[in-house]
Amino acid sequence: MLKDYAFDRVFADPAPVWQRENFDAPPVYLRLHGKPRIYHSSYTEEEIRSFANMSTSDGWCVFDNTASGAATKNALVMLDNL
């Protein structure tokens, strides 16, 4: 049904459903929650670079690790790596 209606899957981290290797094509939408502590933990620059490299050029990313204020810093690092 997702293909019939042209819906893309979301790559989420941590990945509750689809792991990175389950994507045949680069994901258009990334939703990053932080790990090991969801909504709190910041990502390293290396992790962010890895996410930037896996996304499509027209894709978008939401950092949902806002509880400790990490999302803004992580988003700025992501922009530097695009």
* 35 burial level (CB within 10 Å; 0-12, 13-18, 19+): middle
For residues 18-42, average pLDDT: 89
For residues 28-46, average pLDDT: 95
Average pLDDT, the chain: 89
pLDDT confidence bin for 65, thresholds 50/70/90: very high
**Contact between 68 and 36 (Cβ < 8 Å):** no
pTM: 0.83
Could you tell me the residue ranges of all domains in the chain? Answer: 10-16+27-80
Residue tagged 């792991």 (tokens): 19
Q: Tell me the C-alpha to C-alpha distance, in Å, between residue 51 and each of 2, 9, 58.
A: 23, 15, 14
pLDDT at 2: 67
DSSP 8-state assignment for residue 16? S
- Say yes or no to pLDDT of 37 above 90: yes
